[in-house]
Amino acid sequence: MLLEADESQLVLVDYQIRLMPAMLDSAAVIANAVRLAKLASLLDVPAFLTEQNPSGLGETLPEIRSAFEVPPRVLAKMQFSAVEEGLGEWLRPPAKPVQGNARSLPKHLQKPAAGSERGTIVLAGCEAHVCMLQTALNLLEDEFEVWVVTDACSARTERNRDAAFDRLAGAGVELVTTEMVAFEWIRTAEHPDFKAMQALIK
């Protein structure tokens, strides 16, 4: 099973000004989050940011915000899981009501609302064992496919970060790297955005 760009959405969890200095390998983690943001913009993958207690931890780092061509929606939260604050509704908007005579058709003949279903969530963030983990597990419960980008995640300690990855893998989350996401979203050297993608990861 490979990632499909046209079935994916990107969620970047809590890359905040006052939190990131305490994170392990923060420079590399931030650089990969920026790459993911640019890839999502390049390939028209919808993207969302979350911010835990922004009045205390500050907003998302400016280098991540500015990496998007179109500013993404930002979910401010106090719950550790962004799903508890409504992220699931953002990722899976309610279907539009059927219009006109189509309502009289049997359900199996009615067309679903176009473009509303992207069930693959590419997720990365901090802290890996708290907000990112709880968000990922809740997304699984809501029947999304969840892919966690390990080299764009961090925590204050290696043990906590790695424990999160172990638990997520056991729960059925796919663990990937930024380059895996890039090459799977692009798929072929003949893709019109291949050279732009290559430039991002070099």
Task: List domains and CATH numbers for the chain.
Answer: 5-92+117-201 (3.40.50.850)
Report how far apart, in Å, the C-alpha atoms of 38 and of each of 46, 58, 111, 141 are: 11, 22, 33, 29
Alpha helices in the chain (DSSP H): 26-42, 54-57, 62-65, 87-91, 133-141, 158-171, 178-186, 194-201
d(CA 145, CA 182) in angstroms, rounded, equals 17
What does the pLDDT look like over 18-56, one tens digit per residue?
A: 999 999 999 999 999 999 999 999 999 999 999 999 999
2 vs 105, more confident: 2
**For residue 120, which of 149, 147, 152, 86 has the smallest C-alpha distance?**
147
The amino acid that residue 9 corresponds to is Q
Rounded mean pLDDT of 61-68?
A: 98
Q: Give the pLDDT score at 26.
A: 97
Average confidence score pLDDT of the chain:
92
Q: Give the pLDDT score at 103.
A: 54
Burial of 76 (0-12, 13-18, 19+ CB in 10 A): middle
Rounded mean pLDDT of 101-105?
A: 54
Q: In which region does residue 169 sit, left (phi positive, over 0), alpha (psi from -120 to 50) or beta (all else)?
A: alpha
pTM equals 0.89
Is 102's pLDDT higher than 60? no
What does the pLDDT look like over 113-138, one tens digit per residue?
A: 444 589 999 999 999 999 999 999 99
pLDDT band at 93, cuts 50/70/90? confident
